[in-house]
Amino acid sequence: MALQSGEKPMFTGYISSKPNSSWTLLGLRLVAFLATAAATLVMLLNKQTKTFVVATIGTTPVNVTLTAKFHHTPAFVFFVIANGVASIHNLVMIMVDLLGSKLDYKDLRFAMIAILDMVNVALVSGGATAAAFMAELGKNGNSHARWDKICDKFGKFCDQGGGALIASFIALALMLLISVMSIIKLLNSHKSHSVLPN
């Protein structure tokens, strides 16, 4: 039977050194962690205060100060929570990748990593899409429901939110790739076990 690079002979049955694909996965996880952390922070600090002149009494204008904060909208709150949980997950996965090869129950470890990756992909996709459609509503309004757009008044709020959304979508694409790679890794690790003497 052919040996892959770095694999000890079959009767011991485990991979000793870290192949190149593992460094790719680690690099992807690092970038995904940075992207989710950036999305969380940028949306968390998203705030804009603006003063509007509502009416004029005589010669004195009546001012109204309005603030746009991320927690005014449940969609953005869910976005922050989802990206926060995902960045914690990515950080834990990086730690496990770097330090966890000493753990013994390797099969369960790969399965847990694959499952957690799947769950977090769903979480991030939910948060990112909800916030994206909310941002679209804020940008274009909805004439049928008589909802005005708010981006013309709170431009900085919208721009910063848009930046957080872009980071989150990049993180989503990367996390989907990572999830597929960890599932393939899980299936391959089981396949190599099954090639043991029958």
Partner 1 sequence: MANTRKIITILLRLLALGATLSATVVMVTSHDSADVLNIKFSAKYSNSPTFKYYVIAEAIATGYSLIVLFLSSKSLVWRLIVILDVVIAMLITSSISAALAIAQIGKKGNSHAGWLPICGQVPKFCDHVTGALIAGFVAAIVYLVLNLFSLHAVLSPLFPAKSYADRS
Binding region for partner 1 (CB under 8 A) = 11-14, 66, 68, 72-75, 78, 107, 111, 114-115, 118-119, 121-123, 125-134, 136-138, 142, 144-148, 150, 176, 179-180, 183-184, 186-187, 190-191, 193-194, 196-197
Nearest distance in Å: CB 164, partner 1: 15
Phi-psi region of 141 (alpha: psi -120 to 50; beta: other; left: phi over 0): left
| Residue 45 Cβ vs partner 1, minimum distance, rounded to whole Å | 18
**In the complex, what is the shortest distance from the CB of residue 107 to partner 1, in angstroms, rounded to a whole number?**
6
Give the DSSP H or E segment for 60.
Answer: strand 60-69
Closer to partner 1 at the Cβ: 13 or 19?
Answer: 13
What does the chain come to in residues? 198
Closest CA to 120 of 40, 39, 179, 35: 179
The label of the residue with tokens 């002979």 reads 9
Closer to partner 1 by CB, 44 or 153: give it.
153
Cβ closest to partner 1, residue 11 vs residue 59: 11
CB of 52 to partner 1, least distance (A): 12
Residues 49 and 26 sit within 8 Å (Cβ to Cβ): no
Which residue number, 45 or 173, has a Cβ lying nearer to partner 1? 173
Residues 6+ apart with CB under 8 A from 160: 42, 43, 45, 46
